[in-house]
Chains A and B, each alone.
Chain A
């Protein structure tokens, strides 16, 4: 029986390489760094995370979509919806983790382990986003500082219900006036600090 091969359709698979470069000495194609097919279980073990065979191991913890897929707001996997890795060995879609970090309530913490989320600068997949990450973490630090410095209850705690009224008017009126001034100052500070928070991610 004679067979003629008329056409060959090669199929390639890829996955994000989250291994530390120092640990990946067996890499054959360094120019395909991000797209080199890796053994995910081996990669996790190298990163210090034990793998228990859980089916959710390879999904973004925030959007529950595959690492190699996209977050819900994207359509094309790959560089348009990249994966980023933290120093705590937790991985998320770039858009998912940055959207979380940009909320007022995140405090810059990793959603998984509640440690301060820091990108692992050693990993090549993170390098394009280090600068943007720094700007967001700086904004978070300033926001936390603002929350502590401009606590609206501080004056009330200091003076109670009656504030000293040396320039006429009741203590209650003085307090409300001072409070409004404080709020105006706070808004000005927020405008200056939060100005660069509106990050457009393409």
Chain B
């Protein structure tokens, strides 16, 4: 196939990198740096959750965003460094989110409408990750223990997350000012909301002792 090469992916990433770093864009939720100045395919991302209602408010979560050479036709991968305690984050820090899964991947059962598409941008990926922090997908967990605790013992889960949030503040680069909530509230979730009928059906199932059950090995 005589289409473009890695130069086209690098050009697209460079353009998006500049856009996200542009102060006129007013995106204080993310702090983005290149891991190596000469490599546009690996980004170091710092997340700042400005929503005061979130248990992650005040955190500075860092991660590694790695892009394939045929971007945007294949999705990037995201790795939290250090790993965080979250139902959709593996113990090594690798993030499991539908938007970063390829369509038709046998390892997941997400509908095609939620999987990767080349029209997704780095910005939509980052917003989806921030949305996932407060709204985890416990139906297909990467960390089963965290999913069980999130579902059955929310207070304990919140305590553990708050401890991680406090520890993460030490990772903030010197001189950086945490953005105020009034300036830039946390982006709303890009994922489709569950219809009201299905929501109440889920609640009824939970009351009857049904719903999602997780068993840790």
Contacts and interface: CB of A to CB of B under 8 A. Distances in A.
Interface residues of A, number: 28
B11 interface: yes
Contacts of A107: 103-104, 112
Contacts of B2: 200-202
Given A99-B73, A111-B119, A106 B4 contact: no
A105 B104 contact: yes
B3 A105 contact: no
B104 A104 contact: yes
| B interface SS class | loop
Contact of A73 (B4, B16, B103): B4
A61 B119 contact: yes
Nearest to A143: B104
Nearest to B120: A111
A99 B103 contact: no
A100 B4 contact: no
Nearest to A198: B1
Interface in B1-47: 1-5, 7-9, 11-12, 15-16
Most buried by A among B8, B15, B102, B119: B119
A51 interface: no
A201 B3 CA distance: 7
B69 to A, nearest CB: 13
A111 B103 CA distance: 11
Interface string B110-136: 001101111101000000000000000
Contacts of A202: 2
A28 interface: no
Interface string A77-119: 0000000000000000001101110111111010110100000
A100 B7 CA distance: 17
Nearest to A147: B104
Nearest to B11: A72
B63 interface: no
Given A107-B112, A111-B117, A72 B1 contact: no
B149 to A, nearest CB: 32
A95 B3 CA distance: 7
A72 B113 contact: no
A45 interface: no
14 contacts: A63-B8, A63-B12, A72-B4, A72-B9, A72-B12, A73-B5, A105-B74, A105-B102, A105-B116, A112-B117, A112-B119, A147-B104, A200-B2, A201-B3
Closest 3 CB pairs of A and B: A73-B4, A72-B8, A61-B119
Interface of A: 61-64, 71-73, 95-96, 98-100, 102-107, 109, 111-112, 114, 147, 198-202
